[in-house]
Structure 1
Amino acid sequence: MRVSTRFSDAIHLLAYLKIYANTKLTSDAIAASIETSPVVVRRLMGKLRQAGLITTTAGTANPELAKPLGEISLLRVFYAVEGDKPLFAVDPKTNPACIVGGNIQTVLKQYYQDAQTAAEARLARTTLQDIVDNILVEQAKKDAQA
């Protein structure tokens, strides 16, 4: 099973818009940073625009953040690109005649819900400002080592 990277790609895209705000922000340039296709970038931007996180103007390479970084939580970004799908999923097709298969869904359900609640709370407390600040700190460390 392949894990989706839409969430991290969306965070990447939003951080890119802030850090490179004074450059030409084409989907090709953003895609080169994420190492994906411009089509994927445009799809992500569509979801972020629908969620009110960015603004775009048709025919121009000038997407912008719709809100200050400190007002955009990672949870909001997650919901924008992933919808309300759960972070964890229990396999619904197990053998009910087996002790494990017959009980695993019920047992894991509460553990997964607890983990989901904790993850959502953490994502709600983390903003894009935190992410951009940390990106710039990491770059400063690299620059100091060069």
Structure 2
Amino acid sequence: MKISSRFSVAIHILSLLHLNKATGITSESLAASVNTNPVVIRRIIGQLKNAQLVANHRGSKGATLIRNLDEITLLDVYRAVDSVEENNLFQIHEHPNPACLVGANIEEALNESLITAQKKMENQLESETVANIVNRILKIDETKR
């Protein structure tokens, strides 16, 4: 099973952009929160920009949301930050031995199950918005106080 960490980092970024929309937040501050290099943040912001979820500004304002969080599904984010090849939850070994009974038939035997699982995951991601995640973050923080 393979899910890129870019997905959770992108949601982290979008959440912080929303919570800091009045003042703005730089890629350095975003990187400090995610605990990663600002280059990683800028790369993901570029992907979010290409997906028309954020606008990027030079200077202290940094990136800003161009859609409301309740309009951005988790599936939108997943598709924005993972390439077409990586947008599959499951990966099948590419070169099994065709002389082997299992190797020759594993992809065809698994394909339907994996497609069904992928669709279920995408349906779940489509049913939730980034606003739901931000609300959960705030609720969790409230219970910790």
TM-score (norm 1): 0.90
Kept in 2: contact 1:74–1:128 (CA 8 A): yes
Distance 1:31 1:23 in 2: 17
Q: Which residue number corresponds to residue 109 of structure 1?
A: 111
The offset of 1:54, in angstroms, is 0.6
Q: Which residue number corresponds to residue 93 of structure 1?
A: 95
The offset of 1:94, in angstroms, is 0.9
1:20-31 map, 5 Å: 20-31=20-31
Match status 1:61 vs 2:57: no
Distance 1:4 1:62 in 2: 24
Kept in 2: contact 1:27–1:61 (CA 8 A): no
RMSD between superposed Cα atoms in Å: 1.7
Q: Which residue number corresponds to residue 37 of structure 1?
A: 37
Runs of 4 or more off by more than 3 Å in structure 1? none
Equivalent AA in structure 1 for residue 139 of structure 2: V
Instruction: Give the 3-state SS of the residue equivalent to 1:22 in structure 2.
Output: coil
Equivalent AA in structure 1 for residue 59 of structure 2: G
Q: How many residues align?
A: 143
The offset of 1:22, in angstroms, is 3.1
The offset of 1:60, in angstroms, is 4.0
Q: Which residue number corresponds to residue 79 of structure 1?
A: 79
User: Which stretch of the first structure deviates more once superposed, 23-32 or 57-66?
Assistant: 57-66
Distance 2:3 2:115 in 1: 19
Per-residue CA deviation, residues 23-78 of structure 1 (Å, 9 max, x unaligned), is: 44011110011111000001111111111101122334332111111100011111
Distance 1:44 1:13 in 2: 9
TM-score (norm 2): 0.91
The offset of 1:3, in angstroms, is 5.5
Q: Which residue number corresponds to residue 129 of structure 1?
A: 131
Distance 1:63 1:96 in 2: 50
Match status 1:16 vs 2:13: no
Unaligned runs of 5+ in 2: none
